[in-house]
Structures are given as structure tokens and as C-alpha cells.
Amino acid sequence: MSQQLVWFRNDLRIKDNPALFHACQAGQSVTAIYIATPHQWKKHDDASVKIDFWRRNLSELQQSLTKLNINLHFFEVNSYQQIPDLIATICQQWQINQLYFNQEYQANEQQRDKAVMERCQKIGLPYQHYHDQLLIPPASLRTKAGTPYKVFTPFSKLARQHLLNSFHVHPTPNPCKKIAVEPLKQQCDLMDISWPTVSKSLRDFWPAGEQKAMAQLTSFCQQPIRSYDNNRNLPAIAGTSRLSPYLASGIISIHQCWQASEQFGEANADIHIWQNELLWREFYKHTLIDYPQVSKHKPWKIQTELIEWRRDDEQLSAWQQGKTGFPLIDAAMRQLLARGWMHNRLRMIVAMFLTKHLLIDWRLGERWFMQHLIDGDLAANNGGWQWCASTGTDAVPYFRIFNPVTQSQRFDPTGTFIRHYLPELAHLSDKDIHLPNVKNKPENYPAAIVDLKVCRLRALSVFKQLKQDVN
DNA sequence: TGAAATGTTGGGGCG
DNA sequence: ACGCCCCAACATTTC
């Protein structure tokens, strides 16, 4: 009897999962595996909230797969280097006919998969892999000069054109033929893996499972998307999709998101803007593939390496803990710690404050985000940080510096968001809450750690100097 | 997907 | 009635 093996990684779903779909089409029976790497998670300081989210989603996935008569088996290894051996053993023991997986594009994962494919060739095991994480396959969008896009707008125009012609969502597979494989000694139970512990409130805030993700997508596309242009910038309103955690772990596919945005509403400006957000994700992922040096923490604009970022542990810590004395910044940073997530507008504001006003290296902010975000994605996070730091592709011009107080007045005019995360300021008036003065500032709230005007001028002069030095 | 500095205009107070 | 000044409101430029 023919047997297929599906290797799940960052695609923890059964709907629109190319590897799973094709495995089910090809074989009478299908078995699935997941290989956990807790040592790597620790080494890379991955966010506990994200790892815990994987655990919960794996449990959901296991149940959904059971309904398709597919068993999901768990393994644990110390490093990626052990994976080729492990997969070879599994395939031999279980007499697998073919291996299926969806591609990942980060350097370490590419290296891991290359080693696995080489091993498969050696032992004569066929394998199939599929594009999945992107709307458009890597390296297929090029300028007339044949180079990768460096600017978002032309990239997005071509991407939309491309999507008109080729767009595909895979149907959910039908149940396979049942098969029981012999348990291997390397195998473990989901709960045997050393998962990090995470508070109940955090777990409750981000329910796991494909059904929850689909429900979120559907409800977003029925209502909030219609006022997206207005509401997406207001942190006190649930105006954004809040799908990023599900997208980052593949609980939902980018194709499902795009399809839903087209299905649920007539084409209008609001939907177009949300689609652009999906295309920014696309743009940054393509950029990371085309310019792999950015994943090694090099700035995309290499000349910005000359910037002498300030080292100031006290200010960095104040930023991290939400104790800068600028209410919107502090509320945002506390939202990150409380929810494992931050509103997109706020991500820009706090990143701009760290990189421009404090003039602290964007890589430190990038790292802090990855350590705490449930939706932490290398490409999107790096792209966003380099946008704010003016070191990236199509980045914000260095002189366009957000004033955190002005942004607060504009996007949280009644201080509703600030009051929620900074109860010590709740009694202040709508006017005072954006920057308490000496008279009304409570004792337990810090005074502003810097003078915005002075810091702005300092950032301007550093970047202006860089421009002169380079020319 | 800014903000601050600088420039321009026009209405009203006032001598 | 007229010129002058003030300054808010808006526009443009600069970083």
C-alpha cells in the first residue's frame, strides 16, 4: 500500500495546505510528523508566547488530522543538523513512498531543507515541496531591468497584475485510508516536549486553531475591513485584522486571506488598503529572499552601517519596560508585554522613537520585538524596523520623524488606549494625558526621559552628516 | 503611513 | 476712510 509522509513546519493547518493536499491526492494513506527544536528556540530567544502558540495549534492540528485518518507524530531534536538522519530513519522504518513539505525561505531553514533533500536523494526517497508562504513565488517579480523591486508601489502593482492571472487555493483533502505505523523510539508525545510556560491570560487572548483563525478572517472581512482606512490607525479600536499570529505560524494561508478580501466585498478603497498590508508582507519576504544579507542583521542600505548608534542601557530598558514618560509609547510597550502583540501604528511610533529620538540601534528593537511578539516573523519584523530606522528598502525618509505626543493626540485623541494600559494616568484630562505636566503627573509615573526637540535635531544632524560623508 | 519653520493672506482692531 | 499692525489660518519649504 502506498504511503506518503507530510512534514509540518510553519503551516499548521489542513485547509489550503499544498503539501498535505498533494500527499492526500497521491497516496492511499498519509502520515504526518512535526519535529520540535527547543534548544534552537532557547538559543534564538524566540518569544515564549509564539512557541506556546505553536504547541496549542499543534494540538488542534493533531485533532483535525485525525478526522482525515492521518496521525501526527512528534519528534524532538537538538539542532537542525540531526534532522536529515531522523527523516531518513522515519522513512525507512515506516516504508514511506514520498516526502511532502511546504517551502520556507529563511537562510537556516533553507539550509536544513537542502540537507534533507540531499539525504533523500542518497537513499532514493522521492520528495515534493511547494510554494505556500507567499502569494507569488520568490524571484518571479522583476523590474524591466531584471532586478528585484526596491520600491513598494511598483512592486505591488505588478503583484496585483500577477494575482489576476494566477491564483489558487487548495481544497480541503478528503479523509485518507487509515494506517497505523509502528511507534519509533525517537518519537515523543506533544506534552513531552519542553514547551515554555505562558500565562493563562495570554493564552486566552489568542485562541488556537484553524477554525478560530478562519472565523477571525470572516468576521474581519464582513465588518471592520469596510472602515479599514479610518480605523486601522486607532489603537483603541479593533480596526485591524489581528490575523498576524495566525499568518506567521501558517494557521491560515496568505491565499485564504487574499481570497476572502476579494470575496467579501466589492472592490473599494478600504479593501485595497488592507490588501496593500498583505502586499507589504509579501514585499518584505521577497526582499529577504533577494537580499539575504538583511537576515544577517545587515542594514539594506549598507552605508547606514556608518551611523554611530548610541549605547544607553538605561534608556533602552525604559523603552522596553514602558517607562519613558511618553504615555503612548509606554502604553504600547506594555501592550506588547501583556498581549504578545502591538497595534501596527504603535509599532511604527515606538520604533521611530527608539531609532530616531533615542538613536539606539534598530537591531536592539528588532530583537526585543522578536522576543515578545506572538506574530514575530523575521522578514516582516526586520522590514518594519528598517523602514522606521530609514535603513531599508523604500524606507521612510530620515527627516520624517514621528512626534510621539502629536501622534498620540491624533490617533488616541481621548486617551482611551493609554488609559487602558496606564491606569495610573486614567484620571488625567483628554488634553493632559498625551504628556502629563509637572503639576498633574502622578508619582508612580516617570517624567519624560528625553527632550523631543533636542533629540529630533540630533537625529537629523546624524543622518545629514551621513549623507554628506557618503557623497 | 510628518513635523517644524517659514511665508502669505486677509480680517479686524485701532489710531 | 485709511494705513498700520497683529495674528490666526492656511500654504509652502525644509529637514
Reported as a pLDDT band with limits 50, 70 and 90, residue A467 is: confident
Q: Which nucleotide is nearest to A461 (CA to C1')?
A: C15
Q: Is the CB of A156 under 7 A from strand B?
A: no
Reported as a pLDDT band with limits 50, 70 and 90, residue A459 is: very high
Q: Is the CB of A152 under 7 A from strand B?
A: yes
Q: Which nucleotide is nearest to A345 (CA to C1')?
A: B1
Per-residue CA distances from A407 to A151, A255, A434 (Å): 26, 33, 9
What is the helix (H) or strand (E) element at residue A30, kind and residue range?
A: strand A29-36
Q: Residue A265: pLDDT above 80?
A: no
Provide mean pLDDT across the span A22-35: 95
Reported as a pLDDT band with limits 50, 70 and 90, residue A264 is: confident
- Nearest residue to nucleotide B2, by CA–C1' distance, is A400
Distance A433 CA to C15 C1' (A): 29
What residues of A act catalytically?
A: 277, 280, 309, 344, 362, 385
Q: Residue A267: pLDDT above 80?
A: no
Q: Residue A438: pLDDT above 90?
A: no
Distance A460 CA to B5 C1' (A): 14
Provide mean pLDDT across the span A234-259: 98
Q: Is the CB of A464 under 7 A from strand B?
A: no
pTM of the entire predicted model: 0.96
Q: Residue A296: pLDDT above 90?
A: no
Q: Is the CB of A467 under 7 A from strand B?
A: no
Bigger pLDDT: A314 or A439? Answer: A314
Which residues get their CB within 7 angstroms of nucleic chain C? A 399-400, 460, 464
Q: Which nucleotide is nearest to A399 (CA to C1')?
A: C15
Q: Is the CB of A380 under 7 A from strand B?
A: no
Q: How far is CA A31 from the centre of its chain?
A: 28
Residue A38 half-sphere exposure, CB side, CA atoms within 13 Å? 13
**Residue A465 main-chain phi, psi, to 5 deg:** -60, -45
Q: Which of A306, A342, A302, A335 is nearest to A321 (CA)?
A: A335
Per-residue CA distances from A58 to A34, A51, A75 (Å): 9, 11, 12
Could you give the CA distance from residue A48 to residue A201 in angstroms, rounded to a whole number? Answer: 14
Could you give the CA distance from residue A25 to residue A23 in angstroms, rounded to a whole number? Answer: 5
Q: Which nucleotide is nearest to A452 (CA to C1')?
A: B3
Q: Which nucleotide is nearest to A457 (CA to C1')?
A: C15
Residue appearing with cell numbers 526621559: A449
Q: Is the CB of A348 under 7 A from strand B?
A: yes
Q: Residue A470: pLDDT above 90?
A: no
Q: How far is CA A345 from the centre of its chain?
A: 15
What is the helix (H) or strand (E) element at residue A379, kind and residue range?
A: helix A378-388
Distance A413 CA to C7 C1' (A): 27
Strands A127-130 and A98-102, bridge-based pairing: parallel
Q: Is the CB of A412 under 7 A from strand B?
A: no
Contacts of A208 (CB under 8 A, 6+ apart): A53, A56, A57, A59, A60, A251
> Would you state the pLDDT for residue A469?
84
Could you give the CA distance from residue A82 to residue A98 in angstroms, rounded to a whole number? Answer: 20
Long-range Cβ contacts of A448-451 (<8 Å, 24+ apart) = A448/A324, A448/A325, A448/A326, A449/A315, A449/A318, A449/A323, A449/A324, A449/A325, A450/A315, A450/A324, A450/A357, A450/A358
